[in-house]
Structure 1
Amino acid sequence: MTIPSHIIDMLHKVRARFQIEPIQERMLPSDAEFTTLRPVRKASVSSVEKYWNRLQETASPMDQNALADPLTMADPDVFSANIENFIGTVKMPVGVIGPLRINGLNAHGDFHVPMATTEAALVASYARGAYASTKSGGISTALLYEGVIRTPAFVFDDLLNAGMFVEWVVNEIEPLKAAAESTTQHGKLVSVEPVVDNNIVFLICRYTTGDAAGQNMVTIATNALCENIAARCPITMKAWYIEGNFSGDKKASFLGLVTGRGRKVSASVTLTAEVVEKTLGTSVQAMLDYGQVANLGSHLSGQLGAQAHFANGLAALYIATGQDAACVAESAIGITRMEPRGDDLFCSVTMPNILVGSVGGGTSLPSQSAGLNILGLKGAGKGSALAEVAAATCLCGEISIVAAIAAGHFTRAHENLARHR
């Protein structure tokens, strides 16, 4: 087999750049003494100062002032429930779009949506989509399904024992449900679905979580369920694990796309031809033509679903409202559709994995609480409406980016709003 010449050239460059002996010395184990950081939950002025004293070799007083600013340091303990080894807060630019009119089962009215991002042009793009949607009468939204899942795994000697275990679980659902729900006031175990792979059994434990995103809630509840199984099940098991990496937690998965994990929401709007032309600067047919190509690209590249950039809108909204930003990894899958409706354009998104909460997590932190207050969706009874707002916001982004690329404005917009700002 002949090695391609470009690979040989690359290897020659690597060899010329690095000298073996200095690299070997630099990579030898070091036995120099050091003091490791141990997790500290309780934040105080003195604990923050202690950490900054440690960082003096690399960080300047200006860095300390930027993160440990006076407003943050007025009450460091307010952050203790959300972080360890606290040294300050990060300030991100927050923009707002709207009013975004939503005609939903849970979200109904005109919303101003806060979006935290460092990507210039993003807020402008979503604002344009929101304006076009509102001019066309608003976005219809519906929460179709909800259920946050945790998937513990149980290991047995053989397939026979795995099968006997499943039979036992099926007959013991009620006491297992009671054990899980004893850990939470708001979580409800709605189903347990066994998946057998020879001697290993995964239990898909699905919960409703009230107005919370519910990641920690379902973990604690499922742990109680598993301990109840371990204590009472007569089938000998070799091991059990609280999560078998089957649930799709913070990962895009086919399971999430098909069955959902979190809140499944559909959002749609019919844009009038006049709005498409005057507000978006293109035509219905041009958007349909590009949408067809983009849909093909989604399939050929193996995307889970078919959409343009859900992650942009979700990340900005999640950060602004105190959601777990890592959940964007699983929340940002779904389907965008654009179809003709006479002379007009029907646009929709269906998102099966929206993980948001109006209570719990980071929603009580000062800046994030302010973001939810701007929406009018902080506190109990608002979680489902927040999920519908998230889907509607993503639809605005899909409309705007498809219009921009169809019209040939995408690059120019980023040059004007980002590079040449």
Structure 2
Amino acid sequence: VILLAQNGKIAMYALEKVLGMDELERAVRIRRALVSRQSRTKTLEASDIPLVNYDYSRVLGACCENVVGYIPLPLGIAGPLNIDGQMIHIPMATAEGTLVASTSRGCKALNAGGGVTTVLTQDGMTRGPAIDFPSVTLAAQAKAWIASEEGYSTLKTAFESTSRFAKLQSLKTTLAGRTLFVRFATATGDAMGMNMISKGTEKALEAMQQQFPDMVTLALSGNYCTDKKPAAINWIEGRGKSVVAEAVVPGKVVKSVLKTTVEALCNLNTKKNLVGSAMAGSIGGFNAHAANILTAMFIATGQDPAQNVESSNCITLMEPINDGQDLLMTVSMPSIEVGTVGGGTVLAPQQAVLDMLGIRGAHPTHPGQNAQALARMIAAAVMAGELSLISALAAGHLIRAHMAHNRSQTNTPAAS
């Protein structure tokens, strides 16, 4: 088989199809040998990248192509954390030392004050196609038609015909010259929803074409969504799940667990997360390290790690209460993009993590509730991470902790 592939008789990407479903691991092994022997270093074939004991049938046609193995990451557990009255263990797949330990410290402090309360303020995935028209006049007419009762009803009917879960919530439009951008927003059940909304948007544009035969759909995604890129529209309008989390931390806990004071925390949070981020011209980055916790949980639960760009949008606020004795803390995250079905959630390890959280797959009676619960967990965990890091900075502990726990000894050369 290797000789046939080397001679161009079998395409490397087609090995699974040629060998069959019973030989998926063999296909991966052969591809690995082919790549290794073609490469400059020729190290892949005998490398430490794992190959065996993996269910490649879940990957095929769904998660990855030209597979040569898989990359394991350490999975740590922070907490548990009291989230809306339930003690939840926080799964984090990461290679950053101190991250899980620090988040756990934040969980301990938050639990001492009664835990975290979350509210879901919005749930809607978006897709923003770019549509060209022969003139700005016609483009403006199309914009007005979409805003009309007739236009909205036409697009909504076409959109919702594609899925029982796809419920069109809103249409936001803007013009740039003769190009019209339309931001479709829809509920997507327990799926993150990109495939669902793309299918619905395509159908809606077909219906719109009947009204405006001269329009040209340039791209189903015209970057008005906006997916996997920093964008003020996600920060302002929201995308996916919008969650706000709140907690009160007693002043005595701030001193005993976090080794700092309420006054120092509030001052540093204002100067760093608010003023510092504003001076940097940040969009949605008014936090200490929301992306750290969110991305670790994304990887552990089978989310799309690239969507951490907009999902990590977060503003962390702290203020003294009870005559300055205690700390009131909130985190607001308007664009957490998660699902409990589809994508990487089909992989067995990631499904096992979702099982541990009690939110695997689609919710049996309330579609969307599992994905919403995951978003709530992420926001609460982000709060724990934020509280611990700001406390470490306020107390001057950050560098000492990283020097002690985040320095690999394996590749450090000995002193000469």
Range of TM-score over shorter length: 0.7 to 0.9
1:360 paired residue among 342, 357, 361: 342
1:207 paired residue among 157, 166, 186: 186
2:33 paired residue among 53, 58, 66: 53
Equivalent in the alignment of 2:106: 129
Determine if the alignment matches structure 1 residue 183 to structure 2 residue 162: yes
The whole-number CA distance in structure 2 between the counterparts of 1:156 and 1:379 is 42
Equivalent in the alignment of 2:413: none
1:331 paired residue among 304, 307, 311: 311
1:261-410 alignment to 2 at 5 Å? 261-294=239-272, 295-305=274-284, 306-342=286-322, 343-381=325-363, 382-410=370-398
Cα distance change of structure 1 residues 56 and 276 upon mapping to structure 2, 3 Å threshold = same
2:13 and 2:65 in contact (8 A); partners too: no
1:114 and 1:374 in contact (8 A); partners too: no
State the AA in 2 paired with 1:145. Q
Equivalent in the alignment of 1:142: 119
2:295 and 2:305 in contact (8 A); partners too: yes
State the AA in 2 paired with 1:77. S
State the AA in 1 paired with 2:36. Q
Structure 2: give runs of 5+ residues left out of the alignment: 1-5, 364-369, 410-416
The whole-number CA distance in structure 2 between the counterparts of 1:275 and 1:147 is 37
The whole-number CA distance in structure 1 between the counterparts of 2:217 and 2:326 is 58
Cα distance change of structure 1 residues 160 and 34 upon mapping to structure 2, 3 Å threshold = farther
1:113 and 1:374 in contact (8 A); partners too: no
Cα distance change of structure 1 residues 86 and 172 upon mapping to structure 2, 3 Å threshold = same
1:151-162 alignment to 2 at 5 Å? 151-162=128-139
Structure 1: give runs of 5+ residues left out of the alignment: 1-32
C-alpha deviation, 1:145, in angstroms:
0.7
2:57 paired residue among 66, 73, 77: 77
Cα distance change of structure 1 residues 362 and 41 upon mapping to structure 2, 3 Å threshold = farther
Cα distance change of structure 1 residues 61 and 41 upon mapping to structure 2, 3 Å threshold = closer
- 1:78 is paired with a residue whose SS is coil
- 2:67 is paired with a residue whose SS is coil
2:76 and 2:91 in contact (8 A); partners too: yes
Determine if the alignment matches structure 1 residue 109 to structure 2 residue 91: no
State the AA in 2 paired with 1:47. A
The whole-number CA distance in structure 1 between the counterparts of 2:33 and 2:306 is 30
C-alpha deviation, 1:194, in angstroms:
1.8
The whole-number CA distance in structure 2 between the counterparts of 1:227 and 1:196 is 20
The alignment's C-alpha RMSD in Å is 2.0
* Percent of aligned pairs sharing the same letter: 36
C-alpha deviation, 1:41, in angstroms:
7.4
**Structure 1 length normalisation: TM-score?**
0.86
**Structure 2 length normalisation: TM-score?**
0.87
Cα distance change of structure 1 residues 41 and 136 upon mapping to structure 2, 3 Å threshold = farther
Number of residue-to-residue matches in the alignment: 380
- 1:55 is paired with a residue whose SS is helix
